[in-house]
Chain A
Amino acid sequence: MKRKQLESLLEDVDRFSNPKISLEQYPTDPHLAANVLYTIQSGYGDIEGRSIVELGAGCGILSIGCVMLGAEHVTALELDCDAIEDLTENLTEFEIENVDVVQCDITSPSPSFREHSFDTAIMNPPFGTKNNEGIDMEFLDRALSLCRGAVYSFHKTTTRDYITRRMEGKGYHVAVLAEMKFSIPQMYKMHRQREVLVAVDFIRVSRDPT
C-alpha cells in the first residue's frame, strides 16, 4: 500500500466524540499517522506480520493504520469509555477483525499483561501537561515492559535529552526518527489561540543498536 493511499484511508477514521482535557485527548493527524506508520514498516519492518500493542489508543487511528499495513494482530489499550466507543465504531466501520481492545490504566502499578508479550509497541502518549507530569515516562516504561521489540512514540522535544539519558542508562538505544510540530487545535475552551504548536520528536527505543 502506498503512503498516500494509507493517508487517504486514515482520513476516514472518526475523531473523539467527547474529548477530555485531563486525558490530553486529541486525534493524531492522518497525514502524520500515515507517515510514521509507513516509516516504521518500510524502515524497520516492525508492523507487517507482527503482534502490536498500542498504548492509549484513543480513536484508534494508529491501530487501524497498523492493520492496513499488515499487522497480524493489534491490542489497543485505552482507559476512557467514550474513546472506546469511538474506537469500536471505527473498527466496525473499517470491518477490522484483528484488533482486541482492552480497557485499562497504563499507569497502574503493575500491568495486565505478561512481560514482553508483544512484538512492537506504538503510541502517541499524553505529554504530562495536565497535572499529570511524568506520565509520558510511565507510558514509555510500560511500553518497554509489554513488548520485546521496538517502541515507537512521540515526546516533547524539550524532554529529548532526559529520555535519551534515562533509556541509555537502562541499556536501550534511542533514535529520533523525525522532529515535527504538533498543532493541537482549539478543541478545548481554555485554548486562547486557535492552535498551539508544540515541538515533538518521533522516537524509536530499541534493545538492539539500529
Chain B
Amino acid sequence: MKLLTHNMMKSHCKGVVNGFPLKLSSTQVELKEVEFNADFITRMLERLEWGALVDAAGQLGVADGLPEMAPSSGKEEEDEEDVLRKIHHVLLEVEITEGELECPETGRKFPIKNGIPDMRLNEDE
C-alpha cells in the first residue's frame, strides 16, 4: 500500500464523524522505484491532505526534505522539480507491506498483509 493510497483512505466504522486520517503503524516497508511524472504529482497536490501525508511519512522515516506546507501550484520555484521528485518518492515509492491502520475514533484496527489493507467490517460495526 502506497502513501498516496493512505492519504485517500478513511475509517468507515459506524457513527464515526471524522475517520481521517487512519493511524498508521507499520512493521515492514519496501522502497520501489517508480517512474517520475511531474504533471501527475502536480495534479495530485490539491487533493492531498498535506498534514496527514507529512505525519505518515514521518512515521515511516521518509519525511526528510518534505516541505511543511504543501507547495502551491503556479509558483515558479527554483528547486520545484526537486520538491516534486521528493513528493513523488513519498507518495509512490514507499510500499507498506505489513502493518496496521487504526480508526482515529473507535480504535478499530485494520490489518495490512502483503501490502493489502483489509477494510472489511463485521455487521455490527
| B-contact bits for A31-51, CB 8 A (1 contact / 0 none) | 000000000000000000101
With A and B bound together, what is the CA distance between A97 and B120 in angstroms? 24
A100-B5 contact in complex given A49-B37, A49-B40, A113-B10, C-beta closer than 8 Å: yes
Tell me if B39 and A102 are in contact (CB < 8 A): no
Verify B92–A98 contact, CB threshold 8 A.
yes
Is B12 a contact partner of A97 (Cβ separation < 8 A)? no
B118 at the interface (CB under 8 A from A): yes
Q: List residues of B whose CB falls within 8 A of some A CB.
A: 1-2, 4-5, 8-12, 14, 20, 32, 34, 37, 39-40, 44, 47, 49, 92, 114-121
Write out the residue numbers on chain B whose beta carbons fall within 8 Å of the beta carbon of A14: none
Query: How many A-B contacts if CB must be within 8 Å?
Result: 69
In the bound complex, CA of A111 to CA of B92 (Å):
22
User: Does residue A132 face the partner (Cβ distance < 8 Å to B)?
Assistant: no
Q: A49-B40, A118-B8 are in contact. List 16 more A-B contacts (CB 8 A).
A: A73-B2, A79-B120, A84-B116, A88-B114, A97-B32, A100-B1, A103-B119, A104-B119, A109-B12, A109-B14, A112-B119, A113-B10, A114-B20, A114-B49, A116-B47, A117-B8
In contact, A102 and B119 (Cβ under 8 angstroms) = yes
- Report the Cα distance A118→B9, complex, angstroms: 11
Structural contact, A100 and B119, CB atoms closer than 8 A: no
Q: Which of A98-147 contact B (CB under 8 A)?
A: 98, 100-105, 108-114, 116-118
- B-facing residues in A58-104 (Cβ within 8 Å): 72-73, 75, 79, 84, 88, 97-98, 100-104
Contact between A72 and B119, CB atoms less than 8 A apart: no
Residues A75 and B117 in contact in the complex (CB < 8 Å), given A49-B37, A97-B32, A114-B10: no
Interchain CB contact (< 8 A) of B12 among A51, A72, A98, A110: A110
Tell me the complex Cα distance, A79–B118, Å. 9
Known: A73-B2, A102-B116, A104-B120. A112 touches B10 (CB 8 A): yes
| Contacting residue for B115 out of A79, A101, A114, A118, CB 8 A | A101
